[in-house]
Structure 1
């Protein structure tokens, strides 16, 4: 049967050394001064010129509620409408203008509204490939607009309408990207923001 050793006690000399070390040590959680430090000169670049000082942050206290202007929103990337509008026109400009005004009648139409992503993707692929093989130039892809109201978007922006945001990406990817010339939001007479015009390249 093993016996436990009694705890070792520090001698008076050890205690004296410990007290000296404790006096010279800096506490890990020292109380920070409330006054702001004196401003320092802006840093200089290797060429000797002064660099642009960083933007100053507004003053705050611990526990203070953050102010947030909901009218500004918090999107971290351009909207879907902005990205589509920024795409270069790869088709005839006159035909593109007529298409945007709803003056062209789509040759075919597919309605993906209500489908899950795993059903919608292959359905869209089959539709575009078949339409291109049959010589169609303009087709209409209906996605729906998605939810029209959200109580709270939360800290991370959530795109409105999963299919509405996903379809343009699928149309840029292989194998559909080689068959598609232009994707743009449909005219209100053909579904508006809940549908897309897809202009296909000529069959070879």
Structure 2
């Protein structure tokens, strides 16, 4: 008779998913002063990623690596440049960025996102969560 299969481990407890990030909308848990600073572009960006002219897959891979590296380094504010793209709805990178920020591997890193100026919709300032170091 075949050996019995080992029992599957119990499912890992699911962390509650943070609310969806919407570029330009103040997220819960972020005070008004910090949000205004991010939205106005007053918070100095510690790093910038320019995705202008990249293909969608390359841009997505670059964004993931950029945000993970910034988070690991304890960076709090970054800027991602997608470019404005053809009007009226913008380019593919600008349209995809909100979806990418809400992906399961990036969503836990991001606290909020806003265009640094109402007329500059081709750039997004992103506030990363504080990294809690393992003790």
Shorter-normalised TM range: 0.7 to 0.9
Q: Does 1:103 align with 2:42?
A: yes
Match of 2:91 in 1: 161
- SS where residue 123 of structure 1 aligns? helix
Match of 1:117 in 2: 56
Q: Which residue of 115, 123, 130 corresponds with 2:69?
A: 130
Instruction: Give the CA RMSD over aligned residues.
Output: 1.9
Q: Does 1:192 align with 2:116?
A: no
Flag the structure with higher helix content.
1
In structure 2, stretches of 5+ residues that fail to align are: 1-21
Shift of 1:89: 4.1
Match of 1:176 in 2: 106
- Paired positions, count: 111
Report the TM-score, using the length of structure 2 for normalisation.
Answer: 0.74
Rg comparison, structure with higher value: 1
Q: Measured at CA, do residues 102 and 112 of structure 1 come closer, stay the same or move farther in structure 2, by a change above 3 Å?
A: same
